[in-house]
Chain A
């Protein structure tokens, strides 16, 4: 179908609305001027600045570690939850269970953050890397569960039965047949979890402790003192990184749907 002129204009307007601020940000990250709003010619000065900014690099490293660990934990837990809910026998309260699994998706982050903070305080846990990681795991595992569950629901149950019929015990059948068919969905879930973790400001602020700021926390506190062009450079890097992850996630879910009968959302 060919696009009419009106459609092209509408599309251009919509995309501009979404991406113009980002484009401005990216362009200004290459600004030579110290003032954010004044163009002073092209330069990669702020990128160098960032790579010399110890505190900022520490925060980036913290975010990366939290993201890796929490995304991996969330993928394991989310997959287990999805398997239990789609494959387990119909137990009492199963609908309630799956409803409860999805509740955090729509829960305001402030509430999730606050409740986790209260929990950690009550447990007298030292706040820092692990508390943020646990908080992010609990936030992102339901996203993974949703992605994996929709893949599992589309998988033919008789595949596992066929594997059992051919000599696999149930655990073996899962590893030999189900896992290879759902891993693209798990990979997509992992990337989603990682980006969410990298993204998160609110929950991290609630659950982190002194000296272990994540990148968004660090950026936010810098910006409150006035926008430095260095922030533009960091944001540009993050945008590039997330774009790569999102493309990866959608490729993985495409692979997953071309393998089987139904597609995972994304």
Chain B
């Protein structure tokens, strides 16, 4: 029975990566390390970023994202490794000579200069003729929709306006590479979503390569072509948002990105691209065999809450599906979704997310309701433990 469900995991794994249009990526980070005293902030990190790409760096606090960005901008010198921009080693190039601009986390707008002078600052250093500067500033002001505010000082602007000035200032020099360190962290949700869209639109229009650091997974997912997840100074996985979510490379990634159920188990049978797993607290489950060979029989199953369905009785076409009986112990209403905690009869607890497709709660499950949780073998990711 090799249906579409069998092909799906592979299709995800081979989701279109950015195809190299040039023999050399715009940016190549090659085995770069940075130590602060005895502490290693970035640890032998390698990464290629293609021209025109929107790349997001994601990771827990203190994992070295800012440090990596500061090395790209030239504010920190790597202790080991090379950084190549357009094929050239930029180790010896000082910050002011790099075709790279950075948008600072706190914006770092010059408080004594007006919006216009802030934006023109980098252009004046580039010794452009005056009319050219004026034209470029006007273009930037229009681009980030700051018309009418040119004469204001930074402390007369709102957070969102400041952020747009910072963006315009960094873009005015037309850098090959724009680095953004948590640019939207200070904005409220609504403004953040609007700005995300504006940033994507802008990046597409200008064709500038963006590297953005963010804490916000949804933000990275929405905006980026590819996401690099960092942990302790290393890249754990570099993948498209979809790959990262649907085919996490490790148990840590699976737990870090989005919400997931992790169940440990033991492979008891391996047959026809199917594994039979004795899962702790969930009985015998059938799952799709992963592409990479497993190092041992001890594995970990990872299932996203929205991949599991609930019903009051076992599904009739149970062929090939895993169905497990349990009781709802907790219901969390989130508006569009409801999250149910299901205590399985075998002992484990599953989190299940269901879309609230009806306005009236006739269909919803209450606490204490006996249910059957079921999912397809392909919706479960098998990871080494």
Contact = CB atoms under 8 A, between A and B. Distances in A.
Interface of A: 156, 158-159, 161-169, 172-173, 176-177, 180-181, 259-260
B142 interface: no
Contacts of B109: 162
Nearest to A261: B111
Interface string B91-108: 000111000111010101
B189 interface: no
A177 B125 contact: no
Contacts of A177: 110
A158 B112 contact: no
Nearest to A164: B95
Which range contains the number of B residues in contact with the other chain? 20 to 34
Contacts of B122: 165-167
Contact of B108 (A158, A169, A172): A158
A168 B173 CA distance: 13
B360 interface: no
A173 B100 CA distance: 17
A173 B122 CA distance: 11
B111 A162 contact: no
Nearest to A158: B108
B52 to A, nearest CB: 21
A180 B173 contact: no
Contact of B96 (A169, A181, A260): A169
B125 A161 contact: no
B28 interface: no
B169 interface: yes
Contact of B95 (A156, A159, A161): A161
Contacts, number: 62
Contact of A159 (B108, B126, B170): B108
B118 to A, nearest CB: 9
Contacts of A180: 112
B121 interface: yes
A165 B126 contact: no
B75 interface: yes
A162 B100 CA distance: 12
Contact of B173 (A158, A166, A172, A181): A166
Contacts of A176: 121
B111 A260 contact: yes
A187 to B, nearest CB: 15
B104 A168 contact: no
Interface string B121-138: 110011000000000000
Given A162-B108, A180-B112, A260-B111, A172 B125 contact: yes
B279 interface: no
A259 B111 CA distance: 7
Contact of B126 (A158, A162, A167): A167
Given A176-B121, A181-B111, 17 more contacts: A158-B104, A159-B110, A159-B111, A161-B104, A162-B102, A162-B104, A163-B110, A164-B74, A165-B95, A165-B101, A165-B170, A166-B96, A167-B96, A167-B122, A172-B125, A173-B96, A180-B112
Contacts of A156: 106, 108
Contact of B121 (A166, A181, A259): A166
A177 B112 CA distance: 8
Q: What are the nearest 7 A-B pairs in CB distance?
A: A167-B125, A166-B122, A162-B108, A158-B108, A164-B95, A180-B112, A167-B96
B131 to A, nearest CB: 19
Interface in B54-101: 73-75, 94-96, 100-101
B121 A163 contact: yes
A181 B95 contact: no
5 contacts: A156-B108, A159-B110, A159-B111, A166-B96, A168-B96
Contacts of B125: 166-168, 172
Contacts of A166: 96, 101, 121-122, 125, 169, 173
B132 to A, nearest CB: 15
Contacts of A173: 96
A164 B98 CA distance: 10
A176 B100 CA distance: 20
A159 B125 CA distance: 16
A167 B104 contact: no
Contacts of B108: 156, 158-159, 161-162
B104 A164 contact: no
A167 B111 contact: no
